[in-house]
């Protein structure tokens, strides 16, 4: 049995379209092995969870209803060099070798034993390599790039001048696309708990950011107002990350 104290901090994302298998793996790895585990059933959900959860290991089914497991593996590893354990129903040796040559650290053929899965997970996670946190990777949304390490924003390959606070606010919203945040939540996450003042200061900074990024501030395409609630960042262009120059 895996040592829970050692693995408690490790995060595992399960991408499997069969809900019964997905639930079984998640319960076993979380309750029996002590990992932090999230699970999804398709490629779209996988990309969103990957960005938000930033896992140490992805257990990835090769056949997904809306995407290709091979490509998803490559995209995720290009983003953070994350470890990937692939699941396949194929018994063909050539297909299995393709998984490894495509970047997977290991694979398992369905059906499989959960105890064996736990051992393989532990072995893969022992491999030491430079995994880059998604919090450090540039975010790319079409012609907009947000680089947290350089603290630079580019729109149409032109630098956008933002204050430090405006950058922090934009990066935070863009790191959580689609999620709605109230003013109080944004102040707590961006300004910090020590902030004392009018929560509507958020509106002022949102307005400033829009003035730099939007062609028409009355019809914003990136930072949207959710009436009666707050704000959300949403773009039709979705990517896991952008490569640094």
- For 198, counting Cβ atoms within 10 Å of its Cβ (0-12 exposed, 13-18 middle, 19+ buried), the class is exposed
Same domain, 122 and 186: no
Regions of the chain with pLDDT less than 70: 1-9, 101, 127-135, 193-197, 237-245
Question: So what's the pLDDT on residue 5?
Answer: 40
pLDDT number for residue 243: 45
Identify the pLDDT of residue 239.
54
Residue 239 in any domain: the answer is no
Is 32 within the bounds of a domain?
Answer: yes
- The pTM of this model reads 0.56
Contact 222, 213 (CB under 8 A): yes
Residues spanned by the domain of 117: 4-134
Predicted local confidence at residue 232, as pLDDT: 96
- pLDDT in the model for residue 238: 55
Note whether residue 242 is domain-resident. Answer: no
Co-location of 41 and 120 in the same domain: yes
Give 115's contacts (C-beta < 8 A, 6+ positions apart).
none
Return the pLDDT at 193: 66
Same domain, 185 and 217: yes
Crossing angle for the helix pair 19-27 and 114-126, to the nearest 10 degrees: 70
Q: How many domains does the chain contain in total? A: 2
The pLDDT value given to residue 142: 87
């Amino acid at each position: 049995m895996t040592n829970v104290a050692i693995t408690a901090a490790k995060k595992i994302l399960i991408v499997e379209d069969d809900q019964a298998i997905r639930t079984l793996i998640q319960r076993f790895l979380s309750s029996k092995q002590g990992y932090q585990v999230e699970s999804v059933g398709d490629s779209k959900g996988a990309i969103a969870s990957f960005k938000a959860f930033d896992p140490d290991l992805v257990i990835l089914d090769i056949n997904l209803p809306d995407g290709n497991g091979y490509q998803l593996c490559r995209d995720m590893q290009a983003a953070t060099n994350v470890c990937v354990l692939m699941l396949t129903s194929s018994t063909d040796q050539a297909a299995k070798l393709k998984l490894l040559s495509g970047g997977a650290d290991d694979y398992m053929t369905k059906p499989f034993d959960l105890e064996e899965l736990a051992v393989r997970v532990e072995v893969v996670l022992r491999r030491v390599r430079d995994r880059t946190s998604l919090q450090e990777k540039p975010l790319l949304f079409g012609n907009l790039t947000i680089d947290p390490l350089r603290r630079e924003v580019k729109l149409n390959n032109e630098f956008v001048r933002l204050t430090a606070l405006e950058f922090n606010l934009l990066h935070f919203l863009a790191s959580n696309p689609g999620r709605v945040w109230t003013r109080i939540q944004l102040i707590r996450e961006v300004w910090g708990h020590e902030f004392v003042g009018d929560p509507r200061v958020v509106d002022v900074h949102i307005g400033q950011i829009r003035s730099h990024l939007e062609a028409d501030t009355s019809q914003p395409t990136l930072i949207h107002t959710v009436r009666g609630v707050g704000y959300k960042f949403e773009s039709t262009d979705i990517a896991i990350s952008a490569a640094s120059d």
